[in-house]
Amino acid sequence: MHTTTHTLIIGGGFAGATVAQTLEKSNIATTLIDRKDYFEVTMATLRNVADFEKVQNSPRIHYSDFLTGAFIQGNVSELTETTAVLENGDTVSFEQAIIATGSSYPSFSVAKSNQAFSLEARNEEIKTASQALAKATSVLVIGAGAVGVELAGDIAYSHPNIKVTLADAAETILASYSAKTQRKATEQLKALGVNIETNRLYQEQDGVYVDKNTGDQLNVDMTYVAIGVKANSDFMKPKLNDALTERGFIKVDDHFQVQGTTSLWAIGDVADLKDLKLAATAIPQGNELAANLIAKQQGKKTKAHKPMAEMGLIPIGQKNGVAQIPLFGTVTWKRLIDFKNKDLLIGYVFKGLGIK
């Protein structure tokens, strides 16, 4: 089947859904393609697994229940400057396309699913993962970035009977954060009983985890590998490979325009921007790009993107957490931490997308 659209948006995560909804408000006709049929608030998935009853299926909603523009479920396998080809052979031609295909964890489907492309399948995947966790007595979380730290804290809070080990190859947890953030997070994790092991390179050998540095062994019921984030950009390789960095991120200028093209833009995790790879940066990027495309259509001036200041707000269990914010540095303000812990920002994100 062949479809045509004015503006094609590939990927309906935070960046893609935001730009789609904003353009539609200005009467720019959009078609959003995603390989799954639902939008998911990623920051709620970890607690969804650690405490299913608390979160249930609230982070997810069908695109068809809120998108104002057209939606196609499909996996883009090849892109040119005028046409997207889907895995099933269908094609979509466009005047302009926005690439917002984000990133994935190849071995950590709980965080962002690599196989559950229907809402029902994803609800089931999370529930099954939650039930499996409830049966465990020991868990290893590999990777002590923000995601690994949050997961370890959430499991320890909701399952005090599970022995949680958080391991990282670096000398410290949260290596890209300030020393104070690392210290506060360490204190809070330890208070929940999390065993932190740094300078560890655990690798699986016949069902046991062996530290490559020392040969020490760890036997656990379950392991979560929260490392190895990959850009979702394979569809660029056949015709637009020059626009990719070595690690597969899409090269863009300060207006998000894809290098060497006139009809393509890229935002969010998949774009090679200086901003941290966060929903908190993907959403403003979506708004900025929409404003520029609207301004361009109206013959008005467009604005260059300036990288956003570094930030982070990491829940540690359901009552605590640590934030690193511009001007104030590391803080543990209760109201700020509670704002996130209340519903993992589901209400905030949904409101921004016009979801009631």
Indicate the residue among 16 and 143 with the shorter CB distance to ligand FAD: 16
User: Can you tell me the distance from the alpha carbon of 302 to that of 320, in angstroms, rounded to the nearest whole number?
Assistant: 41
Mode of pairing for the β-strands spanning 264-266 and 91-99? parallel
Question: DSSP secondary-structure letter at 290?
Answer: H
Using the rule CB under 6 A, is 20 a contact of ligand FAD? Answer: no
Indicate the residue among 216 and 247 with the shorter CB distance to ligand FAD: 247
Indicate the residue among 10 and 28 with the shorter CB distance to ligand FAD: 10
Q: Find the binder of ligand FAD among 31, 42, 165, 341 (CB under 6 A).
A: 42
Least separation in angstroms between CB 214 and ligand FAD: 29
Indicate the residue among 153 and 206 with the shorter CB distance to ligand FAD: 153
Using the rule CB under 6 A, is 232 a contact of ligand FAD? Answer: yes
Residue 262's Cβ-count burial label (10 Å; 0-12, 13-18, 19+) is: exposed
Region near ligand FAD per CB under 6 A, out of 36-44, 242-250, 300-308, 346-354: 36-44
Q: Find the binder of ligand FAD among 13, 59, 69, 317 (CB under 6 A).
A: 13
User: Can you tell me the distance from the alpha carbon of 309 to that of 149, in angstroms, rounded to the nearest whole number?
Assistant: 22
Using the rule CB under 6 A, is 194 a contact of ligand FAD? Answer: no
Our CA dihedral for 123, 268, 274, 238, rounded to 10 degrees, sits at: 110
Contact status, residue 124 vs residue 98, Cβ threshold 8 Å: no
Rg, Å, the chain Cα set: 21
Contact status, residue 203 vs residue 212, Cβ threshold 8 Å: yes
Using the rule CB under 6 A, is 235 a contact of ligand FAD? Answer: yes
Q: How many CB atoms lie within 10 A of CB 179?
A: 10
**Footprint (CB under 6 A) of ligand FAD, residues 275-294:** 277-280, 282
Least separation in angstroms between CB 147 and ligand FAD: 5
Using the rule CB under 6 A, is 33 a contact of ligand FAD? Answer: yes
Q: Which residues have a Cβ under 8 Å from the Cβ of 275 and sit 6 or more positions away?
A: 281, 285, 307, 308
Using the rule CB under 6 A, is 35 a contact of ligand FAD? Answer: yes
Indicate the residue among 103 and 210 with the shorter CB distance to ligand FAD: 103
Contact status, residue 233 vs residue 102, Cβ threshold 8 Å: no
**Footprint (CB under 6 A) of ligand FAD, residues 78-137:** 100-103, 111-112
Residue 154's Cβ-count burial label (10 Å; 0-12, 13-18, 19+) is: buried
Indicate the residue among 58 and 211 with the shorter CB distance to ligand FAD: 58
Region near ligand FAD per CB under 6 A, out of 37-45, 182-190, 194-202, 241-249: 37-45
User: Can you tell me the distance from the alpha carbon of 98 to that of 94, in angstroms, rounded to the nearest whole number?
Assistant: 10
User: Can you tell me the distance from the alpha carbon of 94 to that of 76, in angstroms, rounded to the nearest whole number?
Assistant: 14
Using the rule CB under 6 A, is 143 a contact of ligand FAD? Answer: no
Q: What x/- string results for residues 246 through 275 when contact with ligand FAD is judged by CB under 6 A? A: ----------------------xx------
Binding site for ligand FAD (CB under 6 A): 10-16, 33-36, 42-43, 45-46, 75-76, 100-103, 111-112, 147, 232, 235, 268-269, 277-280, 282
